[in-house]
Chain A
C-alpha cells in the first residue's frame, strides 16, 4: 500500500508539471491501480508484494510519457490499461485455485500461439504497419496477436519441458519432435512477417527455458551456434536484415551512399539510419539531469516529428531525454528489481511447471527490455519491439499484465505452500 501511495504521488507530481487538467488521468490511474490491488489482495494474498507496484509504476511512467508526446494516444492507452487490468483480474480470479490446470492444455497453447502469430497473415483481418504485417483489425481496435502468442508459447514450453525434461536431456530425437515443430513454426511465421525483434525474443526465451529445464549448457551452445549460422544466412539473403546490421555498425557516413528509400544517394544518417541516429541525439540531449518532463525537444522548428515511432519502439529515447541519465538509470533499475523478484518467484516455486513458467515469463520480460533498449543504444542491431509496460500499444500492455498475473499466481501458490509446510 505504501508503495502504491508513493508511486501515485510521484505520478501526480510528474503530471502536474505538464498541465493541471491531466490530474484526472492521475486520479483515474490511481483508482485503477487500487482496483487491481484489491483484486490481488483477495485472490492471491500471499503473492510477492513488489510485483504489482513495480508494474504499476512502469505503466505510469509509460502513460505519462505517452501523454506528453500526444494526449490523444494516452486516452487510447488508458483504455487498454483498463482492459488489461480487467483481464489481469479475471485471470487471477479464474485461476486462483490452481493455475496448474493450464499444464494439461499445453498443446492447445502451443497450437494457439502459432495461430495467433499466423493471424495477421490472413487476408481480411491482417494489417501492415511500417512494413511489418503484425496487426489484426477488429472493430475499431488494432491488435498485435503475436504479443499474446508469446505468453501462450511460454506456457506451452513450461508445460512441455516440465514433462519431458529428463528425456530431453538424454537427447532422444523423438521427444524433441513436438517442441521443434511448434517452435520452428513460430520462427517461420516471425520471419515471414519480418518481425525480427520478436524472433530474437522467442529464440532467446526458448534457449533460456531449455537450459533451465535440462541443465545442459551444450544445448544452449548448439542453439547459439545455430543462431549465428542462421543469422549469417538471413544476413546474406534478406536486404532488410542487412540494412539493420549496416545501420548498427556504421550509422554515420562521411560520403553519400546508396539510399534505398529514395533510390538516390545520401549520407546514411539522412537515410536508413536517420531514426537510430536522431534517437541517439535525443538521448544525448538529455545529458545527466534531463530536460525535465514536458520540456524535451521532439519536433523540428516546422512542427514536424524528428524521431518517428517515438511513443512505441523509441519511447526510451524520449524518456532518456526528458528524465536524463538519473531517470533512465532509475527506470532500468525498476526493470531490474522486477526481474529479480520474478526470478525469486521461480526459485521459491516448488515444482517444475511453476518454476519454468515463472522463469520463462521473467526472462522474456528481461530479454525484451534488453532487445529494444539495447537496439536503441547501439549495443545490438535495432529490431522493432515494444518496451514492456512503458511503450504505447494495447496488445503489449495486455500481454505484460498477463505475465504479471502469471508471476503473482505462481508466487501466491508457492508462498502458501511454504507457510503450510512450516
Chain B
C-alpha cells in the first residue's frame, strides 16, 4: 500500500512543476491538493485527469479513493 509520501512523490515526479500536499489516515483513502503550472488553461476535469493518470489502474484498487483539489500556479 502506498504511503502519503509516495503518492506525493509520484505526483510531483509525473507532473512538471507540481507540488502536492497529500494526507492519508489509512494509506487507502488519500486526500491531495496539487498545484501546478501545467494546469494552466485546462478545465478542472482535464486537471484531475492529469493526476488520475499517474495512478492508472490503482484507483479503486490499492488506492481506494483519492480526494483531489487542483490549483493553477503561475
A and B associate = no
Give the interface of A toward B (CB within 8 A): none
Give the interface of B toward A (CB within 8 A): none
